[in-house]
Structure 1
Amino acid sequence: MRSKPLLPVAVTFTLAAALCIGAASLTVTQIEARSVRAIDEALGDAGIDWATVSADGLTIDMAGTAPDEAARFRALSVAGQIVEGTRVQDRMDVAQRQQIAAPRFSIEVLRAEDGISLIGLVPAEMDRLAFLERIARHAFNTPITDLLQTASYPAPEAWDEALDFGIEALARSEKAKISIDADQVEVVTMAQDAEARRALEDTLNDLAPDGVEVALNITAPRPVIAPFILRLTRQGETSRFDACSASTEEGRARILDAAEPLGIDGARCQIGLGVPSPEWADVATEAMRAMQRVPEGTLTISDLAIRIDAAAGTEDFGRTVAALRAGLPPEFSLTALEADAEAVEPDAGPAEFTATRSPEGAVQLSGRVGDALDRATVASYGRALFGGDQVNDGFAPEEEVPAGWTPRLLAGLDALSVLNNGAIRVTEESLSVTGVSGSQDGSSLIAGRLSSRLGDDARYEIEVSYDERLDASLGLPTPEECVAEINNILQTRQITFDPGSATIDPASRDSVRGVAEILGKCESVPMEVGGYTDSQGREEMNRQLSQERAEAVLAALLALRVPVSTLTAMGYGEESPIADNDTPEGREANRRIEFKLLSGEEEAATPDDASAEDAAEVVEDEQEDEAGTAE
């Protein structure tokens, strides 16, 4: 039997297989395209524009960078609604998560009698041991409890400056709560009295670093005022408080409101303890309203005693006094006197005593005193108050004096001791005190002393002005101290300039700021800003360069808002060397800025010196070095 050929059959099967494979491949490609298209449309509808879709056979590849994990999962969910989830290959990335923000570093420093506690969070890199040692140096033998926690994050900007200031505030406080943040330090503490509070506030404000906000809450116990006194003087169109006391802020506000119709605006009224009656402020305001109908006279309220002295001929004075007396609480007494011009009799030799105190402290006593015992008493009391070497007496020959004369003289000397300079004049009718005091409460203090020594019916006049330059609580330096402090700074860190120019070196900015801080307390002190160079270069060029550098210092101070109207710029060139110009070190020492105190004659002798306006116009552009010019 003859067999059939096999080749045609094999070919047939091969062709059939190829056709099947081709058909299957075409089917898969169509499925891939439809799947990709459907998923793209679904992603677009869902607002997912960051994902890309491609097909690898029946497998769907999803790529792209999701903004977060939730967005990535949402894209997978959308694709899973179109095709089976097992067909989806996740090749998507997630954007890098934001770095966790650093915590807020802060320290709460609590200082009490039993020790110091530190609570808060600080950078791990901080040298805690050195920080604790610095605190211990300012709190000798005081237990320190360290409850600080740490975090491994870099210290914020100005953190070290805030720590330094916090320690300075702690060193000046016996009891305090100091909250230290990188950008703010809050100090809650107490001062001994009002003057100490002002001094501490000024000191801490001066120490406050740049870039750190300082919040001060410094309280002081109220002083005891004895006697509790208010004294008002009216003379023609002028009215003033010689003394004013109140027990509360509300009471002070009412007293000052009552003073406005009398023409007194912006007056001081001391708040303190010792008020003799809860109705004291009410009585004071009613008495001041009565004084509106007394054009010339004085009102004195000392504790519970009220006294009104009116000029002769005051209209309806009796009615005014009667109305005031009718409304007074029973514990208050009122004495009202109207001067009688006809009762004044001429006296050829009136008793009079004067005492003057100079700004240097010298005291001159002169006038009628009395017998030898009275003279010894007055002189001894004066020496006890002012110092034995400061008192010079020129008493008149022994004469009769009015009754109670010596106590009046002693009271006057006591009042004079409150003044930095001034005078007292004692007559039989009155006692006057005039001068200048370094205390804002000088008038009140004098009125209190006179009233307590002489009684509530005493007649006296006070005309005292306040000069902040004499206020010890402000700690203002003397003119000599101003110059010495500035030159001490310049000896430690001299103001330097770019070579051959008048442009201040940026490294000298701290020196300029230090000088500015001192000048802020020495505004009225006349000083010369002297510029000096070494001996290299031509003499005239050196003098010109030194003048420009002195003016540049004035301009820099003006930029820091320092008043420079009392400053004079002067260039001395290579004059007055302080070191050897033959050595590099010596030449560097000779290139300097110096401040000098000016007297009135020296100011008048330098009319051609640069003014503040000239200094403001100094051009600080860098200049090119010139051969042979001093650096």
Structure 2
Amino acid sequence: MKLSKTTMTVAAFVAAAAVALFAANSSVQLIEDSSEIGVRSALDDNTLTWAEVEANGLQVALAGTAPSEAMRFQALSVAGSVVDAARILDHMEVEADEAIAPPRFSAEVLRNTSGLSIIGLIPQSTDRDAIVEGFADMSDLPVTDLLETADYPAPSGWEDALSFAITAIDDLPRAKLSITAGRVTITAIANSAEAKAAMEKKLMGSAPPALSLTLNITAPRPVITPFTLRFVMDEDGARFDACSADSKEGQQRILNAAFEAGLSGPGRCTIAMGVPSKFWAAAVEQAIKALAQIGGGSVTFSNADVTLIAAEATSQSLFDTVAGELENDLPDVFVLRAILPEAPDASVGPPEFTATLSPEGQVQLRGRLSDEKMREVTDSFARAKFGSDNVYTAARVVSGLPADWSTRVLTGLQALAYLNNGAITVTPASIALSGMSGDQNASDTIAQLMASRLGQGTSFDINVKYLEELDPVASLPTPEECEGRIGDIISAAKIVFEPGSATIDSTALTTMDSIAEVLQECGSIRLEIQGHTDSQGREGMNLSLSQARAESVLNELRARRVLTGSFLAKGYGEVDPIAQNDTEEGREANRRIEFRLIQPEASVPEGDSTLESVAESSDIDASDDTSDAEGPENE
């Protein structure tokens, strides 16, 4: 059948359209493939392998999760370098950012005589006004608030550290406190070595047991007025009644001279301020050597006044030679008075005035006084020093006593008050004091008193012995001794519990009584009561049991009226064995309670703050103030 011309024309158009459509589809597919392959290759070359590519016609879709917004933008840029950016569809996501870590909260408190300032970053939940008010109330000083806040929860231990700092500032007139969560670092200056020790003891006792406390407290050198030194050589040997030095080097120079002159054992010499001359050590060294040449007597320095008293049996020629050489050798500022005592007259009667102090505190005054008014003054002075009911006066009034007799008597009584028991003897020629004291510095203090009150050239003798059992501080057990004594008690009679229980066995109650007695003697110390178990059973159960047992011991101590505010009960479970757990003996040893001191951490001053500079220039540690030096045989 013959097709019409119209039909053929239509068929031609249809065929052409089909060919065109096929060609178009092929072109689109080619474009899709080339775009997808090109973009994927470019992304791979730039290590953006996380990106997924899918072409749909002329459009190129990018999908996947970008590690960051910057990586997402980089993927778009790389794809845009291959195909037209208008053809790119962004279906990418970005990984969610991790929660921003909270900042480190801390505060520093600086206090001096003019005021107190607080600087740092604290949680918004902390009552800022209460902090400022608390520091103002405790210090009674104006407070400068330089705090910033951040809206994050307070970390564990932050409130405890802040509360302790507010309480502690009352005892720290010149200090810096650094406060962080669970930790307080204190840098401070004490007025003396004794004040430093008291400050450290109080801070350690009042700190919460879980708080990490770091102390760096320094004590400046004491000021000695007059600057005094007294070296004696007699039948009892060579000794210092008082010793002062202006530096470490001067101290060692003085002690070396004393050792060469016969001083034995450790030598005590206080490094202090108030020296009258930079040549102090050289002058003392020369005077001690001169006394050693004579062979006996005493040499006393009171500022720049030097008194050399030779032993009674010294020959006149030796005395003149040594005294003359010493006077020429002493630096210009020092003035020497050399005395060679005359032999005592056998016809002289008994000592003119004596005062005795018994260990019970009773004082008897006997001998001679210049007039009735002087007797009343002496009696009143003694009663003021020793107590009205403790003084018995049997002194009598005579004439012809030296003009300075009253000064000698009252100075002697004042010196006697530094002793726990002893006697003072006053004669026209000298004053002699002997006795016992619980103060290591009593001899130094008495020598300074007599040198300043009696004047140059007065002969006095001091023989004071230090007894530790009379020392109210030294007689107390140290925290380390308390820990050791408790350890001895537990070693002898272990704290045991009923099986699988936190109830203390009745057989261990006597042990608890003994521990309570020791702790009542020790006062406020920071202790951790540690509970330990063997490895039998589940670890979590052992940890809970050890904690319960430690708390049970703490409660038993409270029941015995032991102050436990500075104690911490902590269970360690099975993690710290002291023996093998594969035998019954080992397991028994591991089931235990231990008492351990919580020690403050040592601290090194940081930076160059004003406070720290003052601390460094003050010299410093109490160990530098009064030093013990060993003799040549022990060096």
User: Residue 152 of structure 2 aligns to which amino acid in structure 1?
Assistant: Y
| Higher relative contact order structure (alpha carbons within 8 Å, sequence separation ≥ 6) | 2
Match of 1:619 in 2: 591
> Within 2, Cα distance between the matches of 1:310 and 1:219?
38
Match of 1:456 in 2: 456
User: 1:154 is paired with a residue of what secondary structure?
Assistant: coil
- Report how far residue 387 of structure 1 moved: 1.0
Match of 2:532 in 1: none
Given that 2:482 and 2:519 are in contact with CA atoms closer than 8 Å, whether structure 1 keeps it comes out as no
> Within 1, Cα distance between the matches of 2:93 and 2:347?
112
User: 2:456 is paired with a residue of what secondary structure?
Assistant: coil
- Report how far residue 301 of structure 1 moved: 0.6
The alignment status of 1:258 with 2:254, answered yes or no, reads yes
Q: Which residues in structure 2 correspond to 1:101-120 (within 5 Å)?
A: 101-107=101-107, 109=109, 120=120
Q: Indicate how the Cα distance of structure 1 residues 86 and 233 shifts in structure 2: closer, same or farther if over 3 A, else same.
A: farther
Given that 2:378 and 2:410 are in contact with CA atoms closer than 8 Å, whether structure 1 keeps it comes out as yes
User: 2:268 is paired with a residue of what secondary structure?
Assistant: coil
Q: Indicate how the Cα distance of structure 1 residues 257 and 186 shifts in structure 2: closer, same or farther if over 3 A, else same.
A: farther
> Within 1, Cα distance between the matches of 2:74 and 2:233?
87
The alignment status of 1:544 with 2:507, answered yes or no, reads yes
Match of 1:154 in 2: 153
For structure 1, which segment, 370-379 or 258-267, has the greater mean C-alpha deviation from structure 2 after superposition? Answer: 370-379
For structure 1, which segment, 228-237 or 16-25, has the greater mean C-alpha deviation from structure 2 after superposition? Answer: 16-25
Q: Which residues in structure 2 correspond to 1:238-257 (within 5 Å)?
A: 239-246=238-245, 248=246, 250=247, 253-257=249-253
Q: Indicate how the Cα distance of structure 1 residues 198 and 467 shifts in structure 2: closer, same or farther if over 3 A, else same.
A: same
Structure 2: runs of 5 or more not aligned:
496-503, 530-554, 563-587, 594-635
Give deviations 1:165-195, integer Å, cap 9, x for gaps.
2322333456766554446556677766665
Given that 1:255 and 1:284 are in contact with CA atoms closer than 8 Å, whether structure 2 keeps it comes out as no
User: Residue 199 of structure 1 aligns to which amino acid in structure 2?
Assistant: A
Match of 1:94 in 2: 94
User: 2:231 is paired with a residue of what secondary structure?
Assistant: strand
Match of 1:443 in 2: 443
> Within 2, Cα distance between the matches of 1:88 and 1:253?
84
- Report how far residue 446 of structure 1 moved: 0.4
> Within 1, Cα distance between the matches of 2:10 and 2:122?
86
Match of 1:73 in 2: 73
Given that 1:519 and 1:562 are in contact with CA atoms closer than 8 Å, whether structure 2 keeps it comes out as no
User: Residue 93 of structure 1 aligns to which amino acid in structure 2?
Assistant: E
Given that 1:447 and 1:462 are in contact with CA atoms closer than 8 Å, whether structure 2 keeps it comes out as no
Give deviations 1:554-578, integer Å, cap 9, x for gaps.
99999x99799xxxxxxxxxxxxxx
Q: Indicate how the Cα distance of structure 1 residues 554 and 531 shifts in structure 2: closer, same or farther if over 3 A, else same.
A: farther
> Within 2, Cα distance between the matches of 1:391 and 1:13?
145
User: 2:560 is paired with a residue of what secondary structure?
Assistant: strand
> Within 2, Cα distance between the matches of 1:436 and 1:213?
35
Given that 2:189 and 2:220 are in contact with CA atoms closer than 8 Å, whether structure 1 keeps it comes out as yes
Q: Indicate how the Cα distance of structure 1 residues 448 and 26 shifts in structure 2: closer, same or farther if over 3 A, else same.
A: same
Given that 1:430 and 1:459 are in contact with CA atoms closer than 8 Å, whether structure 2 keeps it comes out as yes
Match of 1:330 in 2: 332
The alignment status of 1:594 with 2:560, answered yes or no, reads yes
Given that 2:164 and 2:207 are in contact with CA atoms closer than 8 Å, whether structure 1 keeps it comes out as yes
Match of 2:362 in 1: 363
Q: Indicate how the Cα distance of structure 1 residues 300 and 84 shifts in structure 2: closer, same or farther if over 3 A, else same.
A: same
The alignment status of 1:233 with 2:232, answered yes or no, reads yes
Q: Indicate how the Cα distance of structure 1 residues 331 and 550 shifts in structure 2: closer, same or farther if over 3 A, else same.
A: closer
- Report how far residue 164 of structure 1 moved: 1.5
Given that 2:351 and 2:425 are in contact with CA atoms closer than 8 Å, whether structure 1 keeps it comes out as no
- Report how far residue 222 of structure 1 moved: 5.4
Give deviations 1:434-484, integer Å, cap 9, x for gaps.
31133x53222100112233333213123342759746xx7x9989xx9xx
> Within 2, Cα distance between the matches of 1:469 and 1:113?
37
For structure 1, which segment, 202-211 or 311-320, has the greater mean C-alpha deviation from structure 2 after superposition? Answer: 311-320
Q: Which residues in structure 2 correspond to 1:283-362 (within 5 Å)?
A: 283-288=283-288, 290=290, 296-311=296-311, 312=313, 320-337=322-339, 343=343, 350-351=350-351, 355-360=355-360, 362=361
Q: Indicate how the Cα distance of structure 1 residues 433 and 547 shifts in structure 2: closer, same or farther if over 3 A, else same.
A: closer
- Report how far residue 6 of structure 1 moved: 8.3
- Report how far residue 416 of structure 1 moved: 1.3
User: 1:254 is paired with a residue of what secondary structure?
Assistant: helix
> Within 1, Cα distance between the matches of 2:75 and 2:63?
10
User: 2:435 is paired with a residue of what secondary structure?
Assistant: strand
> Within 2, Cα distance between the matches of 1:15 and 1:238?
137
> Within 1, Cα distance between the matches of 2:417 and 2:425?
14
Match of 1:602 in 2: none
Report percent identity of matched pairs: 34
Give deviations 1:343-389, integer Å, cap 9, x for gaps.
466569642765443454x1242664468847666444322311121
Match of 2:552 in 1: none
Given that 1:435 and 1:463 are in contact with CA atoms closer than 8 Å, whether structure 2 keeps it comes out as yes
How many residue pairs get matched? 518
Q: Indicate how the Cα distance of structure 1 residues 255 and 478 shifts in structure 2: closer, same or farther if over 3 A, else same.
A: closer
Given that 2:294 and 2:318 are in contact with CA atoms closer than 8 Å, whether structure 1 keeps it comes out as no
> Within 2, Cα distance between the matches of 1:437 and 1:392?
24
Given that 2:358 and 2:422 are in contact with CA atoms closer than 8 Å, whether structure 1 keeps it comes out as yes
Match of 2:538 in 1: none
Q: Indicate how the Cα distance of structure 1 residues 382 and 88 shifts in structure 2: closer, same or farther if over 3 A, else same.
A: same
Given that 1:437 and 1:467 are in contact with CA atoms closer than 8 Å, whether structure 2 keeps it comes out as yes
> Within 2, Cα distance between the matches of 1:54 and 1:144?
67
Structure 1: runs of 5 or more not aligned:
483-515, 533-540, 565-588, 597-615, 622-631
> Within 1, Cα distance between the matches of 2:283 and 2:53?
92
User: Residue 417 of structure 1 aligns to which amino acid in structure 2?
Assistant: A
Given that 2:232 and 2:239 are in contact with CA atoms closer than 8 Å, whether structure 1 keeps it comes out as yes
- Report how far residue 71 of structure 1 moved: 2.7
Given that 1:117 and 1:146 are in contact with CA atoms closer than 8 Å, whether structure 2 keeps it comes out as yes
Q: Indicate how the Cα distance of structure 1 residues 258 and 88 shifts in structure 2: closer, same or farther if over 3 A, else same.
A: farther
Given that 2:160 and 2:182 are in contact with CA atoms closer than 8 Å, whether structure 1 keeps it comes out as no
TM-score by length of 2: 0.64
Given that 1:437 and 1:470 are in contact with CA atoms closer than 8 Å, whether structure 2 keeps it comes out as yes
RMSD: 5.3
Match of 1:513 in 2: none
User: Residue 254 of structure 1 aligns to which amino acid in structure 2?
Assistant: G
User: Residue 169 of structure 2 aligns to which amino acid in structure 1?
Assistant: L
- Report how far residue 160 of structure 1 moved: 1.4
User: 1:50 is paired with a residue of what secondary structure?
Assistant: coil
User: 1:329 is paired with a residue of what secondary structure?
Assistant: coil
